[in-house]
Amino acid sequence: MQSEMKIGFVGGGNMANALIGGLAGKLTAAKNIHVIDPNEEALQKLAQAFGVTTALQAGEALRACDVIVLAVKPQQMKDVVQNLKPFIAAQLILSIAAGIRAVDLSRWLGGHGAIVRTMPNTPALIGKGITGMVALPGVSAAQRDAADAILRAVGATVWLDDESLIDPVTAMSGSGPAYVFYFIEAMQKAGAEMGLTAEQANQLAIATFTGAAELAARSTEPVSLLRERVTSKGGTTHAALTSMEASGVSDAIVKALKAAAARGKELGEEFGRD
């Protein structure tokens, strides 16, 4: 059932598009969604695609919202939030920015307590996102439910008790789609180098990813067992995995995710000061 929730978006870029696509006409009517962005062209596209209302600057429509989603880059957040201050009263503030801590958002908003910090991902575009979420103590149960409903409109949600875990979530699922695309691209390259057409390599790589991921999702057994079942003794998979281990692929992945989490923490320190 559709709610009457009024949702404001500050920033109308990639992630806002993904979220609005799941919300407009579903969780709430498109007319209840209001987007602020300085880019006229981006606003026109959003209005045409989803029927949302738009404005180049914050105004009364934003003041009337129940929830305001902060969807600008971490580097822009402090300036953007400080300019929003005159329009914020009791609204729930929901941030999707990497790194930026809820306590810094609260301070920039003069001690506003109703803040939920989240980390979604781009499969939200097709309703298959997953979002890590954490609430400041000043968030009411109804506001927590509203935040959960917004992100559940585009996929699954995982609530965290400790805000510092948002950086590992960012490293896993926030940035994660890029690692999957990277692996698919490498498989496509290998397929093409071994003589398959680009189309065949594309089809084989993507179907293998979606099929294996679906199998893992449906299985009650550990992923390691699924891997072992593919790996016949003395066979082709064994040859590939031995090569990957020799190249340190698993260790490199662990190191890469830790670098992403560290960058998330660093963004918070770099753009959350004063």
Q: Which is nearer to ligand A1CAB, 170 or 188 (CB)?
A: 170
| Candidate segments 91-99, 106-114, 136-144, 179-187, binder of ligand NDP by CB under 6 A | 91-99
Q: Which is nearer to ligand NDP, 91 or 121 (CB)?
A: 121
Residues 126-185 that bind ligand NDP (CB under 6 A): 174
Pairwise CA distance, residues 158 & 220, whole Å: 20
Sign of CA dihedral 69, 71, 75, 80: negative
Q: Which is nearer to ligand NDP, 148 or 204 (CB)?
A: 148
Residue 272 binding partner per list ligand A1CAB, ligand NDP, none, with a CB distance cut-off of 5 to 8 Å that depends on partner kind? none
Strand, coil or helix: 229? helix
Phi, psi of 25 (to 5 degrees): 75, 5
Other CB atoms within 10 Å distance of the CB of residue 243: 10
Q: How far is the CB of 193 from ligand A1CAB (least distance, A)?
A: 29
Q: Which is nearer to ligand NDP, 98 or 201 (CB)?
A: 98
Q: Check whether 71 is labelled as a binding-site residue.
A: yes
Q: How far is the CB of 165 from ligand A1CAB (least distance, A)?
A: 15
Asked if 73 is part of the footprint of ligand NDP (rule: CB under 6 A), the reply reads yes
Asked if 10 is part of the footprint of ligand NDP (rule: CB under 6 A), the reply reads yes
Under the rule (CB under 6 A), what is the footprint of ligand A1CAB? 98, 170, 174-175
Question: How would DSSP label each residue in 16-76?
Answer: HHHHHHHHBTTTB-GGGEEEE-S-HHHHHHHHHHH--EEESS--HHHHT-SEEEE-S-HHH
Q: How far is the CB of 134 from ligand A1CAB (least distance, A)?
A: 16
Sign of CA dihedral 165, 166, 168, 173: positive
Asked if 13 is part of the footprint of ligand NDP (rule: CB under 6 A), the reply reads yes
Counting beta carbons within 10 angstroms of the beta carbon of residue 155, is it exposed (0 to 12), middle (13 to 18) or buried (19 or more)? buried
Q: How far is the CB of 171 from ligand NDP (least distance, A)?
A: 12
Residue 171 binding partner per list ligand A1CAB, ligand NDP, none, with a CB distance cut-off of 5 to 8 Å that depends on partner kind? none
End-to-end Cα, the chain, rounded Å: 43
Q: Where are the alpha helices (DSSP H) in 65-135?
A: 74-84, 102-108
Pairwise CA distance, residues 129 & 173, whole Å: 9
Report yes or no: 146 and 118 within 8 Å, Cβ to Cβ: no
Q: How far is the CB of 228 from ligand NDP (least distance, A)?
A: 33
Question: Up-side HSE of residue 33: CA atoms within 13 Å toward CB?
Answer: 28
Q: Which is nearer to ligand A1CAB, 91 or 175 (CB)?
A: 175
Report the DSSP pairing between strands 155-159 and 53-55.
unpaired
Asked if 120 is part of the footprint of ligand NDP (rule: CB under 6 A), the reply reads yes
Q: Check whether 73 is labelled as a binding-site residue.
A: yes
Q: What are the binding residues?
A: 71-74
Q: What are the binding residues for NADP(+)?
A: 71-74
Give me the residues that bind ligand NDP (CB under 6 A), please: 10-16, 36-39, 42, 71-74, 76, 80, 96-98, 119-122, 174
